[in-house]
């Protein structure tokens, strides 16, 4: 049975993705720092692995076919944690996945990661971290897909998206739940190898634009 490792499974997007994949009957290995944060999820297809992303977490990859990296340092931390989680942990995850012969690695990145210098002074360390992590994955030799969502909100999913960046900055948004749906849809689709998608609210089904 295929197993998907979700790194950052207790975060908002990671937890939604974990639940969605379990609801779809898929086996999930949830990598978290504190397993109590998944106490409200119960499934015989769920395996929880506790590990600190600042340390060695290579053991979590054992027996996993796909990986989703949805971990993040969070908006309330400084640039030091951004570098350690969004950059260094993401790079280590790609290296571990390569060593474990993982068939598909899906990275949650960010709009603006393609050109960090265009971001605000406050956002620049985060965008640099995402850019470098993406570049490391691209050069890793893994089958990869990178999703770069716009500004995130907590609205309910519409399951309608677009990959064309809107001209109006206020429209460069997407719900966390829609990103989770996109992750569930993309993971394991090795035909999407080498694809990078920006993701925003839109009017198209996932299958129409993530191809």
Residues annotated as part of the active site: 126
Q: What angle do CA 32, 36, 39 make, to 5 degrees?
A: 105
- Within 8 A by CB and 6+ apart from 140, the residues are 94, 95, 97, 98, 105
Q: Is 201 helix (H, G, I), strand (E, B) or coil?
A: strand
Question: How many angstroms separate the Cα of 7 from the Cα of each of 85, 107, 146?
Answer: 11, 10, 15
User: What is the C-alpha separation between 142 and 138, in angstroms, rounded?
Assistant: 8
d(CA 174, CA 199): 7
Tally Cβ neighbours within 10 Å of residue 167. Answer: 7
- CB-based contact 57:51 (threshold 8 Å): yes
Contact 28, 47 (CB under 8 A): yes
User: What is d(CA 183, CA 17) in angstroms, rounded to the nearest whole number?
Assistant: 7
């Amino acid at each position: 049975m295929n197993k998907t490792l979700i790194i950052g499974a207790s975060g908002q997007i990671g937890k939604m993705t974990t639940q969605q994949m379990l609801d779809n009957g898929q086996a999930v290995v949830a990598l978290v720092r504190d397993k109590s944060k998944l106490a409200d999820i119960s499934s015989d297809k769920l395996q929880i692995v506790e590990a600190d992303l600042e340390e060695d977490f290579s053991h979590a990859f054992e027996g996993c076919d796909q990986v989703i990296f949805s971990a993040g340092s969070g908006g309330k931390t400084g640039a030091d944690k951004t570098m350690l989680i969004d950059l260094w942990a993401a790079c280590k995850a790609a290296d571990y996945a390569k060593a474990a012969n993982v068939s598909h690695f899906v990275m949650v990145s960010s709009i603006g990661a393609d050109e960090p210098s265009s971001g605000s002074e406050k956002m620049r360390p985060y965008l640099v971290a995402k850019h470098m992590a993406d570049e490391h994955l691209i050069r890793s030799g893994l089958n990869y897909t990178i999703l770069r969502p716009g500004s995130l909100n907590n609205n309910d999913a519409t399951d309608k998206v677009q990959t064309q960046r809107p001209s109006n900055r206020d429209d460069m948004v997407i719900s966390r739940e829609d990103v989770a749906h996109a992750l569930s849809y993309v993971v394991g689709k090795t035909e999407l190898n080498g694809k990078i998608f920006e993701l925003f609210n839109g009017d198209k089904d996932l299958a129409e634009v993530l191809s």
